[in-house]
């Protein structure tokens, strides 16, 4: 094991980690913002409101993230209408194509997590809110969504961690995230073990940090819960 090579590549991989976190947090936040209206629309019993989000979720959950990334980055550019539109300023950049793809992908998953969480909110709480005169909008903003966010937090945290690892695909469209930097370093030093083991260590550290942060949020949002007592023997 070439420890000097590992030491030399640390600054480059740290720079790649910064890009990885940018992609993760931006797409995670935008995906959450997208998931809320999609989840609410999915709960609608009106077919013409339900059909569009249902189709969106089906497509983005049913196809690989890599295929989606290639379709947006490589595929859209072949249409002249896209190249001549105002959107080409964004779509010609690999960074924004990755953000858009990750947002749409994780938004589909988060919307299903939220939909399930909303449906598990006790009916009695909703009926009590209506009994005191809350409107349909107030029931959602004051009762359903806050409770659903609490219920969905562990699954949402798991989705964010999965997106952290999936963000390695950004390197396939020339972005120098952790994996992209590791591939660049490997192309120079021809040390695959050192390059990719160090990259894996960066992902482990980031995953551990996210896990601790999500656990902290769970504790804050569920302060009434006590740690389970395990009795041995």
Task: Assign 136 a pLDDT band (cuts: 50, 70, 90).
Answer: confident
| Residue 231 within a domain | no
Structural domain for 50, as ranges: 3-221
For the stretch 26-35, pLDDT in tens is 999 999 999 9
Say how many domains are in the chain: 1
| Residue 25 within a domain | yes
User: Is 229's pLDDT higher than 50?
Assistant: no
For the stretch 63-120, pLDDT in tens is 999 999 999 999 988 889 989 989 899 999 999 999 999 999 999 999 999 999 999 9
For the stretch 144-164, pLDDT in tens is 888 889 889 999 999 999 999
| Residue 228 within a domain | no
| Residue 120 within a domain | yes
**Mean of the pLDDT values across residues 174-196?**
91
For the stretch 209-220, pLDDT in tens is 999 999 998 888
**Mean of the pLDDT values across residues 18-38?**
94
The CATH number linked to 11 is 1.10.3720.10
| Residue 89 within a domain | yes
| Residue 164 within a domain | yes
| Residue 165 within a domain | yes
| Residue 233 within a domain | no
Please report the DSSP string for the chain in residue order: --HHHHHHHHHHHHHHHHHHHHHHHHHHHHHHHHHHHHHHHHT-S-HHHHHHHHHHHHHHHHS-HHHHHHIIIIIGGG-HHHHTSTTHHHHTSHHHHHHHHHHHHHHHHHHHHHHHHHHHS-HHHHHHHHHTT--HHHHIIIIIHHHHHHHHHHHHHHHHHHHHHHGGGGGGGT--SHHHHHHHHHHHH--HHHHHHHHHHHHHHHHHHHHHHHHHHHHHHTTT--PPPPP--
């Amino acid at each position: 094991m070439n420890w000097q090579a590992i030491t030399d590549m640390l600054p480059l991989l740290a720079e790649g980690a910064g890009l990885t976190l940018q992609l993760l947090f931006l797409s995670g936040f935008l995906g959450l913002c997208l998931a809320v209206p999609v989840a609410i629309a999915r709960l609608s019993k009106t077919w013409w409101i339900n059909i569009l989000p249902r189709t969106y979720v089906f497509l983005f959950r049913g196809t690989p993230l890599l295929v989606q990334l290639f379709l947006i980055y490589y595929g859209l550019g072949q249409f002249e209408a896209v190249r001549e539109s105002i959107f080409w300023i964004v779509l010609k950049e690999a960074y924004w194509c990755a953000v858009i793809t990750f947002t749409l992908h994780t938004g589909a998953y988060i919307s299903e997590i939220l939909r399930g969480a909303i449906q598990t909110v006790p009916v009695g709480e909703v009926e009590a809110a209506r009994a005191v005169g809350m409107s349909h909008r107030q029931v959602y903003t004051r009762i359903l969504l806050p409770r659903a966010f609490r219920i969905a937090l562990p699954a949402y945290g798991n989705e964010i961690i999965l997106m952290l690892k999936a963000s390695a695909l950004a390197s396939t469209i020339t972005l120098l995230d952790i994996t992209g930097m590791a591939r660049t370093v490997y192309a120079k030093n021809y040390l695959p073990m050192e390059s990719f083991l160090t990259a894996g260590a960066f992902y482990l550290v980031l995953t551990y940090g996210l896990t601790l942060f999500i656990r902290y949020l769970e504790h804050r949002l569920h302060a009434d819960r006590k740690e389970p007592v395990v009795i041995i023997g």
